[in-house]
Amino acid sequence: MDYKLLSKIKSPDDIKSMSFSELEELSKEVRFKLIETVSKNGGHLAPNLGVVELTLALHKVFDSPEDQFVFDVGHQCYTHKLLTGRYESFDTLRTKDGISGFCRPGESEHDIFYSGHSGTSVSAGLGLAMAKRLNKDDSHVISIIGDGSFTGGMVYEALNNGGRTDAKHIIILNDNKMSISENVGAFAKYLAVIRSKPGYYSFKAGTEKALSRIPMGKAVARKLYDIKTDIKNKLYSQSTFFEDLGYRYMGPVDGHNIENLCDALESAKNVDVPVVLHVLTVKGRGYEHAEKDPSIFHGISKFDVETGEPKSSSVSFSDKFGELLCEKAENDESICAITAAMGIGTGLKGFSEKYPERFFDVGIAEEHVVTFASGLAKNDLKPIYAVYSTFFQRCYDQLIHDISLQKLKVIFAVDRAGLVGEDGETHHGIFDVSFLGTVPDLKIYSPCCYRSLKADINNALYADEYSAVVRYPRGAPNPNVEKLRYDCIEYSTYGNTESDTVIVTYGRITSEGIDAVDALRAEGKDVLLLSLNQIKPIADGAYDILLTKRSVCFFEEGIRNGGIGERLGSALLERGYCGKYTIKAIENKFVEQASVSDLISAYGLDSRSMIEMVK
C-alpha cells in the first residue's frame, strides 16, 4: 500500500489540520500498516485495530506530551506510536533493538508509563493529574482503559479515590465487550444496560459542547447538569455508577466515528471534574479474520494476511497441560480450573467446553483468583489456577496469607515461565522462582518435557500434602530432552555419572545442557548433566550426586538474586562441599525484547556458553 498520509506524519501536530475525511483515509492506512507489520512480526492485532479512530481523535484534540496519555494495558498503543514519530521504525516492532509492542518511556516522550499489566492506568493517571494540579499545570491526563480491565479490583480502588478529587483526569472507557476472551461478570452486564440508552447521552455531550463555546457556558452547563441529573434519576431510577462516585459520565459514543469522538473529547476537556467517557468499539475492526475471532488475534504470532492462518504451529506446554487436566478431571470430579481472563492462552479452552460447571473465568483479577481458590480448597475441591508467570507476580500476598498460612492445597500452573521473547520487559517470567522460593510449604516443579509435566501434575494433585507450582515455558520442548535418564521424579541425568564435572540446570535450557554434553563428549571430555525437575525442595539424592563432584556449573533462566542457583550453592556449603561452584543466571535486571533463542545466547545460557564455562 502507498502510505501517502501516514508517511508524512512526524509528530501529532501533523494531524491537527487534517479534515475529518482525511482522517478517515488515514485510519485506513493505519489499519493496513498494523495488519502488514503484525503479520510479519507477531503482536497484538485485534486490540489495536479497535482503537484506530479513538487514537486519531485523541491526538487531534489533545497536545501530547503536554497532555499525557496512559494506555491500559499498553498493547493497544500501536497507532499512538505511528502518530508520534515512529512510522519509519515501525517495521522493527517487537524485534531485537526495535520499538516495543508496549509503551516504553525511554523510546519516546509521548510514552508516559511502561504498561504491560492490566488495570494500572486509572491509578497512574490520577497520580499524574494530581501532580499537575499541585504544579498549577492546566494540561490534561487521559487514561485509556478497556472494559476488560474493569474486571480487576485495582481500577475500583482508583475510581473510589479519584471521584473525590478535582483532578483534570479523563478516563476513556474503551468498551469492546472483550478483554482477551469475552468479558465476564456483573460489570459487563452493567455496561450492556448503559449501552441501551446511547441517544440520551449523545444529546448530553452535544449540549455540553455547545455551551462550552459561549461566555458563561461552563457555569450554565454545571447548573443544567444538576437539573439534568434530577430528571435522569426520575426517568431511569438511578444515576450511573460513575456519577455516584463523583465522575461526570459521558457517552456511549461511537468509537469509530472520528468527528463524534472529537466532539465528545472537546466536551470532556471543558468539564472541571474527573470525567468518564464511554466509547464503543469493535475489537479487530477492519480485518475480517480479527473481527470474527478477536480472541485468537488478540496476541498472535506471524500469520498469513489473506487466510489469517498462523505460519507455524506445534503442540505447546500450554496445550499439553490442558489435555492432561481434561484427562484427570474425567475421573476426578473435585478438579476445578480457574483463569484470570486467559482461558485460551493457558490451554484451558477444552476444559471450559468439556467441564463448564468446573471452569471459572474470574476476569483480570489475579489477586482475587488465589483467595477464591483457597475457598474452593477449604471445601474439599482441587483448584488449579493457570496463569502466566508475569501476572502471577500480583498474587504474592494472597499466596502467603490465604494459601500457605492456611495450609491449603491449590495447584498453580505457571505458564510462560522464563524468557518469553518479543513481548519484552513487562512479560518475561524471570522473577517467579525467586519470590516463590520464600513461601513456606510450597513445592515447585519445573519440567523440561511433557513426560515430566505429566508426572508433576499428578504429584501435585495426589502426592503432595500442600500447594504446588508447576512452571513451564512458552512453546514446545526441544525433542533432544528425550535423551534424559529419568532417575526419579525429582531429577534426571545425562552423560557420564562418573565425571567430576557437572552442569546443573532446570526447565527449558536443559536441552542446551544436553547439546553441551554431546559437544564436549565429541572433544573427548565427559561431563554429567543434572536436570532438576523439582526445584523446591531439591532432593537429597541430587545433593548426594553434587557433593562428589569437583566442579559444579549452574545455569538458570531466571533472576540470580534469590534463585535456585544461589540457594543450591548455599545448601552445598552447609553440607561441606569443597569444590568449585559457579552460577550463570540473569543478573538482576529487566530483560529487553528479542527472540527467546537470541536472549538465551545473550545471557550466556546456551550450549556454547555452557561449554566455555566447563572448559
Q: Which residues are catalytic?
A: 283, 366, 394
Classify the C-alpha dihedral 268-274-280-286 as positive or negative.
positive
CA distance 311 to 303: 5
CA distance 95 to 499: 41
**380 three-state secondary structure:** coil
CA distance 198 to 41: 38
Cβ 312 vs Cβ 322: under 8 Å: no
Cβ 20 vs Cβ 259: under 8 Å: yes
Output b/e per residue, 187-210; b: 16+ Cβ within 10 A: bbeebeebeeeeeebbebbebbbe
- Sheet with strand 551-559: strands edge to edge: 491-495, 528-532, 501-506, 551-559, 580-586
Pick from 504, 517, 597, 514: which is nearest to 547 by CA?
A: 504
Residue with cell 465476564: 184
Cβ 466 vs Cβ 412: under 8 Å: no
Q: DSSP code of 1?
A: -
Cβ 491 vs Cβ 537: under 8 Å: no
Q: DSSP code of 87?
A: S
CA distance 440 to 351: 30
CA distance 52 to 79: 6
Pick from 294, 293, 349: which is nearest to 318 by CA?
A: 349
The verdict on whether omega for the bond into residue 215 sits within 30 degrees of 0, i.e. cis, is no
Output b/e per residue, 126-145; b: 16+ Cβ within 10 A: bbbbbebbeeeeebbbbbbb
| DSSP secondary structure string for all residues of 139-188 | --EEEEEEGGGGGSHHHHHHHHHHTTS---EEEEEEE-SBSSSB--SHHH
CA distance 241 to 238: 9
Output b/e per residue, 433-451; b: 16+ Cβ within 10 A: bbbbbebeebbbbbbbbbb
Residue with cell 502518530: 83
Strand 528-532 and strand 491-495: the pairing is antiparallel
Cβ 413 vs Cβ 384: under 8 Å: yes
Residue with cell 468446573: 358
CA distance 103 to 144: 12
Q: What is the torsion angle, in degrees rounded to the nearest 10, for the CA atoms of residue 430, residue 435, residue 441 and residue 444?
A: 0
